[in-house]
Amino acid sequence: MQRMAIYMILAVVFIIGALFVRVATVSHNPDEWHVDPFTITRPVSPNTYYVAPQSMVGATVDLEAPIYTAPAAVMAQAFDEFVLTQPSALRLAGSPAEGWMTYVQRTPTLRMPDYISVKFIDFEDGGSTMALYSRSRYGYGDMGVNKARVDLWLQSLSSFEE
């Protein structure tokens, strides 16, 4: 009986370890994760955070997008430079020159990947705005991780706000 309990514990530890390795080493397909945040459809799960001008998108936003005094090209470059200094963040697809990028950032402890797509657009007056969609790859909830990330990343651009 005791031996069976030890085998069961070892099996559970092995399975958890295998799942951890799988999550920590999963590859990222840009065709799947590089989405236009102006045209997304949100899932029913609460593991996303969405910033956009509500009047320009079909999905319900969590936060109205800021209006910036600088053109989209300047904003995209500033945003990209900041994001690439963040822990475990890398650009998965797109470029500042396109004004549309998707990043992956892994959570510190469990190394879960989250995907963040952002697109900047110009206004006729020389200003700009953006749409940003942050979502978790795994799980139903995210314990506020996506919102906290977006708040921090948007703060890096606050000096450009109207």
- Tokens 């079909």 correspond to 58
CA distances from 121 to 24, 70, 94, 96 (A): 34, 11, 14, 12
Asked if the model's pLDDT at residue 23 lies above 80, the reply is no
pLDDT reported for residue 5: 78
Per-residue pLDDT of 35-82, as tens digits, reads 999 999 999 999 999 999 999 999 999 999 999 999 999 999 999 999
pLDDT digits over 89-127, tens only? 999 999 999 999 999 999 877 778 999 999 999 999 999
Find the CATH number of the domain harbouring 91: 3.30.530.20
Backbone angles phi, psi at 146, to 5 degrees: -65, -45
- State which residues form the domain around 100: 2-160
Domain count, the chain: 1
